[in-house]
Structure 1
């Protein structure tokens, strides 16, 4: 009886499964996109919420639950495998569109977003880890660019589609029928076609490194390890400004007289540029490195938010949200790739979970901060506040983070880091750290 052949690493060797996971993550993004245009308008027009902090409670609930679930997803996928976690996430997401359609009160909407947070935390986190498992160390930036592009292009397409449907047929139920279709298709593909990838991570890890405890990984990723902790705070601030854009931009635009279709266009343009941009920026980070692409992206987001604060027309806001999408595209896949660079395969899924705990905690922080400031001083003041925090976060990355991209003597990405001399820190933290 022959020896069991080890799994092959690399994008070409795993193209079919990788492509399938890209499609699955597009459906994950579509579940989020069903809310981007409609839900802030539903809060005021159907449930008559006046305080901004009240409107943003659905983002607060979503962000808090998704952040915690991200952390648990990494631990669960290391213990039980990636596929069971992915399937569980889709099962939990099935009731979300139905709750949004039938919600008799805002509390039901919050409950739907609790389930959506679990759905997104389990499914999106797992597709990230599975793609990192498959491609190996050399093409992480490209892999994350493709993953995040699929998710956020789907957010954009669904936000535009639901804006059009809401304008034609009303805020409920028609726009949320898209979400019901996404959930059913995602569950079917994940159950019947997706294959387990944990063996790829075990093959990459080998036997030389003993696993770290989850508590140790939490401490390293959050505070102690410079690149991981810098990435975690940048991810949190990035989603803090995304929470602001999600919850308050539609209200700001509506206050200036934009139609539902116009608001849907702006709500779609931001994630569209973000999504398509990642097709280039993820691969670019494999060539030029992670650190300064992240710094530049945070600075670009800060400028874009300032432009939103001073704008008062569709054309100005369109330019601003496109610039915001570009800055986010520079940051989003690059941060994930940096975490994948630094964390050893033996504990990488948990490190990604911790990073995403902080990153999606930004939704909750953004909802609280933006809601309080907007209620006290108005939406433009909230936008200025978040713009300042975004610029400051970029400075933290510039000072604290080192370059993480794996290099060879020739300077191209290979998955091996230099063992001595100047240049990037070692790619895999030793287990004794």
Structure 2
């Protein structure tokens, strides 16, 4: 559902709706990010109260009109409305699948579980971006690329309703036998924290939780740039739609495949080195995008960008799972994803305003600088959250 938009909507904004200001083009990402961030937060609380599966099914029901709105949209306002629904869909469904896998896997293999979850999602994003690029080059920007979305929404709803089982009791069982770290660092993170306290701990009080939240926000600020502006940068340099589509697909493809390795790697090496190293690699890749002028250079840059994101993305989620108490872990994941997907909003505003004032290259350099600064902040503030000595299945 997300991948069908990564190439087509920026080009649709320019070619069919005549949007020339980059801030105008990025309004669909702002709408998506704002509603997804709010839905992420709601998903954590709702899944603790009503169970994971009802939230998952509700998210897929909301997805059903999205491709139809994009096909029929007579004006840009319809595209914004579709992305409000897409943000609700993504927030409810993806947050819930993250929580469900953390429920099931136990403390010693959270990185592996998050790598599998995020790899499944972003390999699908990459495949769909490539498929929609092919369809757009062959048939035009509408309606054929969005037929895929109709099938995805139906499949998501059918699988969630018929195949998925409830996992909330797994978290309750883990909470009953939960033991804190031997060094006592998490003693204040007990089971009885209320929603306001969970929000405070995850947002700014607890060093690892808050550092992960802010690093996640910068990551999606960067992804908003990659989604909304990089296709326009590549197309503006004269690349054909098929090559722009390939670049749009390479980034999430490397991101998705890489997570099959990096999530499990963080269970062995720890979380912090992968997060810091990944953000530094992202900053380097964005600098290469700004300096590049040809398809081969940009192909290398987006591959490096995907590799850096693969190091960061599942590892941040695993960090939240390491630190949060099982009794309120779903709500902590919701707060983290509130911050992380708020990065789409910040990215749409910051990158759009800079691009309008100073050009696309300046926007890329600005986000590269922010990403590098975030790596320094994580290196300074975050402690290592994964206890590598913990035996499989034992409480951490």
Q: TM-score, normalised by structure 2?
A: 0.96
Match of 1:196 among 156, 161, 166: 166
Matched, 1:231 2:201: no
SS in 2 for 1:139: helix
1:46-61 aligned within 5 A: 46-61=16-31
> Counterparts of 1:303 and 1:248 in 2: how far apart (Å)?
18
Matched, 1:147 2:128: no
Contact 2:218–2:343 (8 Å) recurs in 1: yes
- The residue that corresponds to 2:246 in the other structure is 265
- Which blocks of at least 5 consecutive residues in structure 1 are unaligned? 1-30, 418-433
Contact 1:405–1:413 (8 Å) recurs in 2: no
Contact 1:406–1:415 (8 Å) recurs in 2: no
Match of 1:118 among 77, 88, 94: 88
Deviation sequence 1:297-316 (CA, Å, 0-9, x none): 00000000000001010000
> Counterparts of 1:355 and 1:406 in 2: how far apart (Å)?
21
Matched, 1:288 2:308: no
State the shift of 1:210 in Å: 3.6
Match of 2:192 among 211, 219, 229: 211
> Counterparts of 2:27 and 2:314 in 1: how far apart (Å)?
27
1:398-417 aligned within 5 A: 398-408=379-389, 415-417=394-396
> Counterparts of 1:185 and 1:167 in 2: how far apart (Å)?
26
Matched, 1:82 2:52: yes
Deviation sequence 1:346-385 (CA, Å, 0-9, x none): 0000000000000000001000000000000000000000
State the shift of 1:136 in Å: 1.0
Distance change in 2, residues 1:206/1:282 (3 Å): same
Distance change in 2, residues 1:388/1:309 (3 Å): same
- The residue that corresponds to 2:34 in the other structure is 64
State the shift of 1:122 in Å: 0.2
- Which blocks of at least 5 consecutive residues in structure 2 are unaligned? 179-189
The alignment yields a C-alpha RMSD, in angstroms, of 1.1
4+ long deviations beyond 3 Å: 207-210, 411-417
- The residue that corresponds to 1:169 in the other structure is 139
- The residue that corresponds to 1:369 in the other structure is 350
Contact 1:406–1:416 (8 Å) recurs in 2: no
Q: Aligned residues, how many? A: 385
> Counterparts of 1:294 and 1:414 in 2: how far apart (Å)?
25
- The residue that corresponds to 1:10 in the other structure is none
> Counterparts of 2:392 and 2:142 in 1: how far apart (Å)?
49
> Counterparts of 2:172 and 2:124 in 1: how far apart (Å)?
31
> Counterparts of 2:154 and 2:293 in 1: how far apart (Å)?
40
Matched, 1:297 2:278: yes
- The residue that corresponds to 2:330 in the other structure is 349
- The residue that corresponds to 1:6 in the other structure is none
Contact 1:407–1:414 (8 Å) recurs in 2: no
> Counterparts of 1:342 and 1:174 in 2: how far apart (Å)?
45
1:335-346 aligned within 5 A: 335-346=316-327
Distance change in 2, residues 1:278/1:222 (3 Å): same
Match of 2:43 among 46, 60, 73: 73
- The residue that corresponds to 1:254 in the other structure is 235
> Counterparts of 2:310 and 2:255 in 1: how far apart (Å)?
5
State the shift of 1:413 in Å: 6.2
SS in 1 for 2:108: coil
SS in 1 for 2:91: helix
Query: Which has the bigger relative contact order, CA under 8 A and spacing at least 6?
Result: 2
Q: TM-score, normalised by structure 1?
A: 0.88
- The residue that corresponds to 1:394 in the other structure is 375
- The residue that corresponds to 1:326 in the other structure is 307
- The residue that corresponds to 1:96 in the other structure is 66
State the shift of 1:207 in Å: 6.8
Moved more, 205-214 or 188-197: 205-214
Contact 2:221–2:343 (8 Å) recurs in 1: yes
> Counterparts of 2:192 and 2:174 in 1: how far apart (Å)?
14
- The residue that corresponds to 1:424 in the other structure is none
Contact 1:142–1:282 (8 Å) recurs in 2: yes
State the shift of 1:193 in Å: 1.1
Match of 1:44 among 8, 11, 14: 14
Contact 2:177–2:395 (8 Å) recurs in 1: no
